[in-house]
A and B are shown apart, each in its own frame.
Chain A
């Protein structure tokens, strides 16, 4: 079995998270999220007024698997800020509720447009 990670996926992932300050790997799109957990993270980012690049992993099976190995995190959605893995829906929600998420964006110089 080919256990070596699919380099195409790793390259694509790294290109996305380095080209965009905020990247959300999700199921579906912000307009049509296909999973409640992905939808919740979209809502949090929208409410904070953060621009983000979304990647629909349902359209790209290699990314869907590759991202889990890349971050050693078994589920989707996955949020990346300034190239670093921040968390899945639980952690994003916890950070949002405690104010840590807004703080993280400010520390990274990412603009928040009040919704």
Chain B
């Protein structure tokens, strides 16, 4: 029951096309990742809403197939 970094990145990009995504494998076990996602679409949204966008992109994997994803979202500097 795990996901690989590329799969996570692909799902996020598919749902948030302009996203800059960086995934870190925290323990090398395919179950504990950190994801840093930057996107224009986060602008004006609360942290909860930003994170919900990413969770929706992961189509239900979060909390199931993917046990732990430390998430940090941000809006691009220049915006």
Query: Once the chains bind, are A91 and B52 in contact (CB under 8 Å)?
Result: no
Given contacts A73-B52, A73-B55, A90-B72, contact A68 B47 (CB under 8 A): no
A73 to B70, alpha carbons, bound, how many Å? Answer: 14
A44 → chain B, closest Cβ, in Å? Answer: 15
Q: Does A52 contact B (CB under 8 A)?
A: no
Q: Residue on B with the closest CB to A74?
A: B63
Query: Once the chains bind, are A87 and B55 in contact (CB under 8 Å)?
Result: no
Q: Residue on A with the closest CB to B58?
A: A74
From the candidates B47, B52, B60, B63, name the one contacting A94 in the complex (CB within 8 A): B47
A95 to B51, alpha carbons, bound, how many Å? Answer: 14
Interface residues in chain B, defined as those with a beta carbon under 8 Å from any beta carbon in chain A: 47-48, 51-52, 55, 60, 62-64, 68, 70-72
Interface residues in chain A, defined as those with a beta carbon under 8 Å from any beta carbon in chain B: 37, 68, 72-76, 85-88, 90-91, 94-95
